Amino acid sequence: MVYYCGYLVRDEWLFQRGAELGCPRPVNALDTMNIILAASSDLRIDTKVYAYTKFRHVKTLKGIPFWCIAFASNDPSEGLPTSAPAEEEYKALKEALHKKGPPGWYKSS
């Protein structure tokens, strides 16, 4: 099982960011994915973490699905480090998402 270390992001948060970018509310599944990808890419570029993060779908311990901006993975084939990042690597994203602590580890969905 693959695990990712990162910050969770809800669909609603991404839709709001998409709206701020001028994207309309999604009408179908393709629209939904396009908005989610555009909003997540914009966030990762804006916080300067794009080059060393991945955007993955994960589940919490309770089985709730979320999007995750991942800094690390237990699977070396992901091309990410296998240990949690230093604070300076995630600080800007943490602030943009209004998170209080360091990134957590989540199971891929």
Q: 9 with 99: CB under 8 angstroms? A: no
CA distance 12 to 86: 28
Query: pLDDT tens digit string along 23-38?
Result: 988 899 999 999 999 9
**pLDDT tens per residue, range 66-105:** 999 999 999 999 999 999 999 999 999 999 999 999 999 9
The model's pTM is 0.94
**Per-domain residue ranges of the chain:** 3-108
Query: CA-CA distance, 31 to 34, in Å (whole number)?
Result: 5
Q: What is the pLDDT of residue 50?
A: 97
> Residue 43's pLDDT is what?
98
Mean per-residue pLDDT, 37-45: 97
Whole-number pLDDT of residue 26: 86
Cα–Cα distance between 109 and 92 in angstroms, integer? 26
Q: Taking a C-beta distance cutoff of 8 angstroms, is the pair 88, 82 a contact?
A: no
> How far, in Å, CA of 90 to CA of 24, rounded?
29
**For 68, which DSSP code?**
E
Q: Let me know: does 35 contact 14? Beta carbons within 8 Å.
A: yes
